[in-house]
Amino acid sequence: MATSKIAITIEEKIVKRLDKLVKEQVYPSRSRAIQEAVEEKLKRLERSRLARECAKLDPAYEKALAEEGMTAEQGEWPEY
């Protein structure tokens, strides 16, 4: 996987906490810890966006739509 080097600014108290985790070998480096934190945050944002979009759906309409599709297809299914 390709990586890119970037410069960031972080509060000193967060850096100290980060360094403690690296010293305790929770993470192999600051970079790895920050990368995992960013990945986790991005995944959370994606899940919350999906939840917001799902909340916009009308359950009654979606159920009717699904049932309509099932009814139309049932006649096409082979009998076993």
Residue 25 gets the label, from left (phi > 0), alpha (psi -120 to 50) or beta, of left
Q: Does 80 reside within a domain? A: no
Please name the amino acid found at residue 56: K
* pLDDT 10s digits, 26-50: 999 999 999 999 999 998 888 888 7
Please indicate, yes or no, if residue 18 is contained in any of the structural domains.
yes
State the alpha helices, DSSP H only, in the chain. Answer: 12-23, 30-55, 59-74
Residue 75 has pLDDT above 80, yes or no: no
28 in a domain, yes or no?
yes
Q: What is the pTM of this model?
A: 0.60
Residue 3 lies in a domain: no
31 lies in some domain = yes
Number of separate domains in the chain = 1
Amino acid at 66: A
Whether 2 is covered by a domain: the verdict is: no
Q: Domain residues for 19?
A: 12-72
